[in-house]
Amino acid sequence: METNNRAYTSTAVEVYRRETQEVFGRFLSHQLSFPDCVVALHSALGRLLPTLEREQFDEVRFVMLANNDTVMDEMARRSAKQKASSERTL
């Protein structure tokens, strides 16, 4: 009987997804600055790329686009918050 190894081991993309979620947790809780967040995301991607199989590229692209949306949404939120704060001090 053959076992399904996928049930017991994580794929490289799943590990990447978990890593980036950890980075976002730290970024959203203000433990990482924007530049440090970008560096951490690039590092995670750099570790992932050499391990990818051709059929995983679309999945990685999807995760990368979702990551970009998360970072941009948070930066927009922080910018609006900072702008509102500076307007109150005028």
The pLDDT of residue 5 is above 70: no
User: Residue 89's pLDDT is what?
Assistant: 72
pTM of the model: 0.77
What are 14-66's pLDDT values in tens digits? 999 999 999 999 999 999 999 999 999 999 999 999 999 999 999 999 999 99
User: Residue 90's pLDDT is what?
Assistant: 63
CA–CA–CA angle 30, 36, 38 (5° rounding): 110
Tokens of 50: 């050499």
Q: Where are the domains of the chain?
A: 5-88
| Averaged pLDDT, 65-70 | 94
Q: Identify the CA nearest to 67 among candidates 40, 43, 41, 34.
A: 41
43 alpha carbon, distance to own chain's centre: 11
Tokens of 14: 């799943």
User: Residue 9's pLDDT is what?
Assistant: 55
Q: Three-class SS of residue 2?
A: coil
| Averaged pLDDT, 72-83 | 91
